Each structure stands twice: as C-alpha cells, then as structure tokens.
Structure 1
Amino acid sequence: MSLFDSARFQISAAKLSGLPTTIEPEIAFAGRSNAGKSTTINVITRKTRLAFASKTPGRTQLINFFELSRKTPDGKSRETVGRLVDLPGYGFAKANESVRGSWSDLVGGYIAGRRQLAGLVIVMDSRRPFMPTDEWLIDFMRERPEVRQLWLLNKCDQIKNMERRQTLRKAEERAAAFGPQVSVQFFSGLKREGVDQLIETLESWLPAPASAAAAAEGENTSSVRSDISGTNER
C-alpha cells in the first residue's frame, strides 16, 4: 500500500492568505490545463475523482490541498506526514489578462514563498513539452534551488520510440543544467506507465516512517558507540 492511498481532500485556497498554516512538507503539481495534472494525481492516489480538471483553461483558480497520513508506530492512530498540492492549471490562449495576472500571483506567490514546499512536479505533455507556461515555471524555480523538481513527461503512450528517445535526451540535458535536484521521467496514466517510479520518487521527498527513522537513528548510534569503543581500545 502506497502512502498516497491515504490522500484525502483538506482545503482549497483562492488567495495566498487562505493557505493552511501547517508545517508538514508539501509536494505540488503544476502544469498546463491540458497536460493531465489532475489525472496524474488521481492515478497515484488510486482515486478517480480526488482532483478535478476543468474543461475550460483558467476556470479553476484554486490551490487544493490533500492530506497524506500513515499509522503511528503503535498502530492506534494516524499522523499527517505531508500534503499533495494541486496548483491551478493554465491555458494562456483562452484566458484574459486579469485571469493570467491572478494565476501568476497565486501560483508564483505559492512557489516563491511557501516554506513547506519540498518538491514540485511539473506535468508536461510529452508531445509538446516546454511550452511557455512550462518555461515560466521552470525559470521561476531558479529562485528555489533547494526545492526538488520532477519534470513529468505525461501522455508518453502517444509518442513513438524514436521521438521518446529524442524528447528524453533533450529534457535530461536541460535538467542537468539545473543540478541533481531536477529529474525527468515519462508517465502515462492511461497505460499506467511510470506509476511505480513516480510514487517511489515522491515518497523519497517525504519523511520516513517514525519507526524506520528510529531504527536508522539506533543503527547510527550503535555505529558511533562502536567507533568510540574501538578508539578507546586502541
């Protein structure tokens, strides 16, 4: 069972002032309205209607938060470990200037100032990656080099193998210029391609279970004690 199976809707925010005052890390999803962002969230959470997509680009101007939780070590309760954040999608061609401005302020303000942001998934249509909105997001992220990024090349089932190789090579070359905090992968919600890889990547961005963290700490402590003991014996 994946951590993302626990996802449940928490709150929507239409303004930055409405963002929840939480401390847990957040993984945000961004991209064009027709890139398949909402479908991606629904696929990894195994819920068909958790995230909604509007058929009209620019119609939905809300940031939606979905809580992630796991059982405590004693199994008696659940603890919140993070959140998925669905940023409003955008279609430049069909939105007026005021909508563009409000989208830029809302999404830009969240990305620039949200301390809880641990990672950003930029969902792109693999047939048409790096569109103007994608470029805007990527350039904007230069201001947050500490935040991990995944450039998700969605709908990869709709391109041929040769085009795949070319698209992946170009994307990886661009990602390499940013550094190790940026990775790239193909994804298809329809064919369920890349689902496990995506889940594994996103789970690595969130805290380990308390029991695993405690075990790791115990191993480190034992190792330190062993080193100290060995030093004393010498």
Structure 2
Amino acid sequence: MSRLLQGAQFVLAAHRISQLPADHGAEVAFAGRSNAGKSSALNALTNHKGLARTSKTPGRTQQMVAFSLPSPGAGGAEPALDVRLIDLPGYGYAKVPLEMREHWKLEIDAYLHQRRSLRGLVLIVDIRHPLKEFDRLMLQFCFDTQLPCHVLLTKADKISRGQAAQALAALRKQFAAESLVATAQIFSSSAGTGVDEAREAVMTLLRQPREGAHQGR
C-alpha cells in the first residue's frame, strides 16, 4: 500500500482553502516550522526528488499545495477513492511579511477545522531542537479534536544514533507527561532513515475512518 505514495503528482497550489480540490475522499496534511525539512520529507516519502520544492531559503512553501495519489480502489473490487497529500505553508520564518504570516495562520486554522476529508496530520520537527510554540499548538489541536498525528523527527543524520534515540524517548515521555496522543519516529530524508516506517504511518492515517479522524469542531 505504501507504494501509492510513490505515485504522487502535483495538482495545484492554493492561496485559500476554497481553492483546494473538492472536499471528499481522504487526505493527510504535512505541517511544520520553516526549515524543519518538510519539503525534503515529502520528496523522500514519495520517492520524487522534485515533487515538493526545496530551497536553502526557509519559508519557500507559501501556499497550500495538493498532491494526488493513485486510488487504492482503482481497477479493483473496491470503489475508487480520491486520496491526497496536502503540504501546508511553513510557519515561523521571520522574514515573511507579517500580513502573509497572519494569512497563513488563519488559513491553516480554517483548513484544520473545516476540511472534512482530513484524516491525519504529519508534523515535521527538527530533532535537534525542542518543540516550538507552533509544534505544541498543532499537537494540542490534534489531541483536542481527536485528529491522529504522527511526528517525524527530521535531520537525524545531523546527530549520533544515540542522541537521536534519546530525543525520541524524551519526546514520547513529554507526550505522556502532557497527556498528548501522537506517534513519533526518527527520520532523515538524506540518509533514508525511517522512510519506510513513515510511509506506512501515512498510509495508516489515510485509511482512518472519517468518524474517528476528526471530531470536536
């Protein structure tokens, strides 16, 4: 099933949620602070180096970008299902104009609250840094609305395996202490660490039934 991710194709870039594809089927959103490695993670998961634009300049993703996936039901006994990945704008880059940052904040909030096809969130966090305010807000939102969340601790190749294991253990301990419900793993797009595990996690989110995926609106 995870091979479906390797058939991802760009659909459109939206400035507002009203411009996104029709709100049916299933989709998983990717969120994270600027420069946490979100675009590189998407490219690694889809095995498509040019799918999401990467740049040495943080904050490059300035719109909500939709990628379509091959339907798991196409050509079989099951009905075809529209499945997508949604790349949300990177958050927190100071050089982005305040007006644009406020627009992103409002649109991301509206997307998370209103999007009926949303099945889960993949939160991208740089393993070398503690959770930032944006990360905590996203985790709390997922907990409050029962939206499944999977955390990728990216750039694990920048530290030792021991340090990476300690960071993962510390994050899971933090989840327990703060009564947050989320899964997490070590990940490196450049080294390929955790790519297969992350693909399976995304597919698990896409298979979530709508009723159990997002409540408490």
Percent identity, aligned pairs only, is 36
Q: Which runs of 5+ in 2 are unaligned?
A: 209-217
Match in the other structure for 1:161: 161
Q: State the 1:172 CA deviation.
A: 0.6
Distance 1:6 1:55, change over 3 A: same
Write out aligned runs for 1:113-128 (5 A): 113-128=114-129
Match in the other structure for 2:150: 150
d(CA) in 1 for partners of 2:56 and 2:160?
27
Q: CA RMSD in A?
A: 2.2
Q: State the 1:41 CA deviation.
A: 0.8
d(CA) in 1 for partners of 2:207 and 2:139?
25
Larger radius of gyration: 1
Higher relative contact order (CA 8 A, sep 6+): 2
Q: State the 1:66 CA deviation.
A: 0.8
Q: State the 1:55 CA deviation.
A: 4.1
The residue type equivalent to 2:141 in the other structure is: F
Asked whether the equivalents of residues 188 and 194 of structure 2 are also in contact (C-alpha less than 8 Å), the reply is yes
d(CA) in 1 for partners of 2:161 and 2:49?
29
Question: Could you tell me the TM-score, scaled by structure 2's length?
Answer: 0.84
Match in the other structure for 1:178: 180
Asked whether the equivalents of residues 139 and 149 of structure 2 are also in contact (C-alpha less than 8 Å), the reply is no
Match in the other structure for 2:215: none
Match in the other structure for 1:72: 75
Of 122-131 and 160-169, more deviation after overlay is shown by 160-169
The residue type equivalent to 2:154 in the other structure is: N
Provide the aligned length of Structure 1 versus Structure 2: 203
Of 54-63 and 166-175, more deviation after overlay is shown by 54-63
Write out aligned runs for 1:190-229 (5 A): 190-207=190-207
Q: Which runs of 5+ in 1 are unaligned?
A: 209-234
d(CA) in 1 for partners of 2:105 and 2:23?
23
Match in the other structure for 1:107: 108
Asked whether the equivalents of residues 35 and 59 of structure 2 are also in contact (C-alpha less than 8 Å), the reply is no
Distance 1:101 1:39, change over 3 A: same
Pick the structure with more helix per residue: 1
Question: Could you tell me the TM-score, scaled by structure 1's length?
Answer: 0.78
d(CA) in 1 for partners of 2:54 and 2:161?
29
d(CA) in 2 for partners of 1:2 and 1:129?
32
